[in-house]
Amino acid sequence: MSKSVKQIMSRLKEAIEYDGPERMDREVERKISSGETPLSDNPALPGKEEDEFDNSFAELVASERFKEVVEKVKRYTGMENISGQNAFMQLQMMLMQAVQTVKSIESNNEGYLEQLAVDLVKQELSLPDDAFQYDVELQSMPGQIDTSKMISEPEELDDEEVQQQFGVDADEAEDDLENFMAAFEKFDLEKAKRRFINSLIQGASKKGHYMFHLVEEQLNNINPQLLNLYGVLMSINDLLYWIMPDQMIMSAAGSGEGVQGSEEIDDTTDPPTIRAKGLFFPVLIHELIKGVYEVLGTAGLPDDPKSAEMVMGQTDTLPYEVWDLRLGPVIWRKFTEAYPEKLYEDDMREIQNYLFSRFSALSTDEFFEVARMILSGSDEGKQLVSKMVDEIISELKQQDYDDAMSQYRDDDDDDMDLDDLLGDLGISLT
């Protein structure tokens, strides 16, 4: 056996770390360790610029996330041992009972919960009232989510179409073959960038599953059981993504049984409308957050609409989303750990949205380089993020100043003098 094969076999045996007897599905674990996930070869992950088979970061993320999921299931269910067939059957029973009880409670409070979800998301993401319109619906029973628009596999494209949309300028390529290779390389980079942005979007929105704790008083007024029931629902649902093989999850999704929510953006309205549906209140919050970040993340797509459509057709698929839901939460947390502390102050949290959009808009080369530095936890990565934040703040201040000056010039009847105007903007000439 060659040295490289021995190294691979060794990694396969020791890749994932566990704290207890609970284990991932063997096929899920194998795909992570052998580099067969949709994110395994993504150049945004640390180490990918040096070693194509360096999956240590993905293994670290998976290990960390699985431990979190197990801990949450034990917390909400009260079960100490959740491994083995008997525990699995008990969890299934608890899940079914929770679904029935929650829907019974929610059915009499749908309108209130829909508005509560919108208000909570707007507050937590510091969204201005005029940023979006919202069309939300709490589903009355399972199986009502329309799955017809979900892409089960990447769309097929012919080589000519790719070359036409992503080919380089004639003076940048010596011949047709070089142009052909350059086009596919550019297309692959755009797809990899979109794949990573999707993992961040799912990671950011996944926290919505547990944001019900932020409205504890309102939910207790409806029914004191709701908080723990939501915890049971969401934590067991998370666990199923790890202990069930992809084929079972996809089969359930294809029949509509495993799909608990959906979102889509209507950009024909002004402002854009986020249309979100969810089977439960926490799922509705998740879909709303996903919609917000979906809009912010469009800055990472090619400017040309056709090229953007081609990229999304290759990357925004249900099988890929399954892996984004598994790995995205930890990737997102590591991304936000690079934020300067001031971004968590109430009057600064809105800057987080600008930062995500600014990061998404970076060129592919810059995007992957910055992502690797951020995810590795390096000081350089934190410094880059801090610099981006300072630039955004400076630009927003300049924009406020320009808007105020324009209003001042246009309003002949305004008695405010220049010193007062600048003072309102926090600017002093002395």
Quick check: 9 pLDDT over 50?
no
d(CA 174, CA 167): 12
Q: Kindly indicate the confidence band of residue 409, based on its pLDDT and cuts at 50, 70 and 90.
A: low
d(CA 1, CA 5): 6
> Which pLDDT belongs to residue 406?
73
Residue 2 in 3-state DSSP? coil
The more confidently predicted of residues 259 and 23 is 23
Cβ pair 76, 235 in contact under 8 A: yes
The more confidently predicted of residues 157 and 24 is 24
Quick check: 421 pLDDT over 70?
no
At how many degrees (to 10) do helices 176-206 and 364-375 cross?
40
Cβ pair 259, 118 in contact under 8 A: no
> Which pLDDT belongs to residue 338?
95
The pTM of the whole model exceeds 0.75: yes
**Residue 331 contacts by C-beta under 8 Å, 6 or more apart in sequence?**
61, 199, 200, 203, 375
243 membership: H or E segment, kind and range:
helix 226-243
**Residue 321 contacts by C-beta under 8 Å, 6 or more apart in sequence?**
198, 202
pLDDT in tens, 90-135: 999 999 999 999 999 999 999 999 999 999 999 999 999 999 999 9
Q: Kindly indicate the confidence band of residue 45, based on its pLDDT and cuts at 50, 70 and 90.
A: very high
The more confidently predicted of residues 67 and 164 is 67
Q: Kindly indicate the confidence band of residue 401, based on its pLDDT and cuts at 50, 70 and 90.
A: confident
> Which pLDDT belongs to residue 237?
93
Q: Count the alpha carbons within 13 Å of 410 in the hemisphere toward its beta carbon.
A: 6
> Which pLDDT belongs to residue 7?
44
Cβ pair 39, 195 in contact under 8 A: yes
Share of the chain above pLDDT 70, in %: 84
- Provide the 10 A C-beta neighbour count for residue 197: 26
**Residue 177 contacts by C-beta under 8 Å, 6 or more apart in sequence?**
none
d(CA 265, CA 290): 10
pLDDT in tens, 271-321: 999 999 999 999 999 999 999 999 999 999 999 999 999 999 999 988 899
Give the dihedral of Cα atoms 392, 393, 396, 400; nearest 10 deg.
Answer: -170
Quick check: 154 pLDDT over 90?
no
Cβ pair 203, 329 in contact under 8 A: yes
136 membership: H or E segment, kind and range:
strand 133-138
